[in-house]
Amino acid sequence: MNVRTEIRTILFLGTFLPIILLAVVNSGCETGYSNEMEGTEDAVLTSAPNVPPPIIRNHPSKVVVHLFTKEKIGRLADGVQYQFWTFDGTVPGPMIRVREGDLVEIHLSNDPSDMMAHNIDLHAVIGPGGGAASSVTPPGHTSVFSFKALHPGLYVYHCATPPVPMHIANGMYGLILVQPKEGFPQVDKEFYIMQSEFYTTGEFGDSGLQQFDLQKALDERPSYVVFNGSVGSLTGKNALTAETGQIIRIFVGNIGPNLISSFHIIGEVFDKVYGEGGSTVTEHDIQTTLIPAGGAAIVEFKTEVPGTYSIVDHSVFRSFNKGAVGQLVVTGKGNELVYSGKQADEIYLGQPSVNNTSDESADDQIQTNVSTQQVSAEETGQQIFDRTCIACHQSNGQGIPNVFPPLAGSDFLKNNQKTAIDFVLHGHSGTIMVNGKAYNNVMPPQPLDDQQIAKVLTFVRSSFGNKMGPVAQKEIEQIRSAKMISLNGDN
């Protein structure tokens, strides 16, 4: 290059470089983002149902995530413990939030008291094993690796140390959100929910420390299906709360390890669903969204009407009998145009022509009663309660305010033993007063034999702080036969 050329080059760069640079910056400004990596920060980690705050940076950064693994005994349900394997001591593990384009540096430490090696496979990672091979960590060690968050969306992470299914089944999973660089639309509240199964040697509700049952896991027959790691993690005092008129976003993961979730909120419609946890809205006006095992979804909806909303897997035996139920309690002013509430309660005597009273159906009933009696002898009152009553009256006997009356400290239960037996036997519809409050709801007759009713009522009368006497099987028999006589017109 001669002097003249050099001068030309300098002149050229002097004139055009600022313009070129300006153009680069401007191309960022047009969209409001820069692609240049700037700064380092520690990730904010939150325990479910809490979500880390939105990231408002307009550029990628290096984000350092510190996680540790810990094997510990914890609560799976009231009176039921399990030897969990965890990230950060919780099931699910913490939620991680990074931004599209971030360089994420994972530091995984394994507690020195752990028995097993652990690692982490994040579904947001592009690389073998999602980071698993780079993060195998024996007890008392820390592994470090990094990845670039190339794909925005909601991803599951889990331990992937052999035997992988067992590390997952014991509780090692969580969610990582890679926030799109343009961010999500602003909402009023965000929550983190993760569905999973537990395979225990005992059945649902069997008390004491439960062991992992490999055969049940192979058969895909869980004893528990739960949200956020335990029965009751999102009900009663743990319920999610919101006010009417708020827009709610829920980040939902499903780790399985076997089942697909049919995620639904009873009494809500999802205005938007980011299908399978992708970065864009794929569906509007959705009742139930399918979440694969090892997948996620983001749902959004607006609260309109105050009340308690059940969050369920709509494969509903899982919700009513295996634990997969949460609550969203919405307070505030209602909108009677959106929902009127009950406007009438009138007597209906049914269609006499379709009431089947043939001998055949009576025979079927006797057959059912015989087989029920065979299993009822070994069942405890608590087990019957967990199977039959818990969905409405809740695991702590507190019921659901204004919907299902409490059994804990219930003056009704204390003063109306015969009526309570009659309700369990024959069901009840209409208003009852419990502790000065009116409850207007329907309780169906319970398919229980006399022995089971005596057991469950005795359990209820001596649990939740209640100190009422036991109920004898004889009392049930008397009330059952009295009702049959009155139905037959013999009284």
Please, what is the minimum distance in Å from the beta carbon of residue 199 to Cu ion? 16
Nearest residue (CB) to Cu ion, 60 versus 257: 257
Please, what is the minimum distance in Å from the beta carbon of residue 67 to Cu ion? 12
How far is Cα 113 from Cα 70, in angstroms, rounded to an integer?
Answer: 8
Contact 408, 483 (CB under 8 A): no
Residue closest to Cu ion, measured at CB: 159
Please, what is the minimum distance in Å from the beta carbon of residue 71 to Cu ion? 9
Please, what is the minimum distance in Å from the beta carbon of residue 230 to Cu ion? 19
Nearest residue (CB) to Cu ion, 118 versus 272: 118
Please, what is the minimum distance in Å from the beta carbon of residue 113 to Cu ion? 14
Nearest residue (CB) to Cu ion, 99 versus 118: 118
As beta bridge partners, residue 192 has 251
Distances in Å between the Cα of 202 and the Cα atoms of 69, 199, 373, 399, 474 are 26, 9, 21, 26, 31
How would you write the chain as a 3-class SS string?
CCHHHHHHHHHHHHHHHHHHHHHHHHHHHHHCCCCCCCCEEECCEECCCCCCCCCCCCCCCEEEEEEEEEEEEEEEECCEEEEEEEECCECCCCEEEEECCCEEEEEEEECCCCCCCECCEECCCCCHHHHCHHHCECCCCEEEEEEECCCCEEEEEECCCCCHHHHHHCCCEEEEEEECCCCCCCCCEEEEEEEEEECECCCCCCCEEECECHHHHHCCCCCEEEECCCCCCCCHHHCEEEECCCEEEEEEEEEECCCCEEEEECCCCEEEEEHHHCCCCCEEEECEEEECCCEEEEEEEECCCCEEEEEEECCCHHHHHCCCEEEEEEECCCCCCCCCCCCCCCCCCCCHHHCCCCHHHHHHHHHHHHHHHHHHCCCCHHHHHHHHCHHHHCCCCCCECCCECCCCCCHHHHHCHHHHHHHHHHCEEEEEEECCEEEEEEECCCCCCHHHHHHHHHHHHCCCCCCCCCCCHHHHHHHHHHHHHHHCCCC
Please, what is the minimum distance in Å from the beta carbon of residue 472 to Cu ion? 51
Please, what is the minimum distance in Å from the beta carbon of residue 159 to Cu ion? 3
Residue 224 makes CB contacts below 8 A (sequence gap 6+) with 76, 77, 197, 198, 200, 204, 231, 322, 323
Nearest residue (CB) to Cu ion, 170 versus 410: 170
Nearest residue (CB) to Cu ion, 170 versus 383: 170
Please, what is the minimum distance in Å from the beta carbon of residue 163 to Cu ion? 10
In this structure, what token pair is assigned to residue 337? 């145009």
Please, what is the minimum distance in Å from the beta carbon of residue 228 to Cu ion? 19
Nearest residue (CB) to Cu ion, 111 versus 304: 111
Nearest residue (CB) to Cu ion, 161 versus 235: 161
Nearest residue (CB) to Cu ion, 70 versus 480: 70
Please, what is the minimum distance in Å from the beta carbon of residue 168 to Cu ion? 8
Q: What is the dihedral of CA 432, 435, 436, 438, to 10 degrees?
A: -30
Nearest residue (CB) to Cu ion, 71 versus 190: 71
Nearest residue (CB) to Cu ion, 52 versus 131: 131
Nearest residue (CB) to Cu ion, 197 versus 300: 197
Nearest residue (CB) to Cu ion, 101 versus 131: 131
How far is Cα 122 from Cα 103, in angstroms, rounded to an integer?
Answer: 14
Please, what is the minimum distance in Å from the beta carbon of residue 176 to Cu ion? 17
List of residues contacting Cu ion (CB under 5 A): 118, 159, 161, 167, 172
Please, what is the minimum distance in Å from the beta carbon of residue 73 to Cu ion? 16
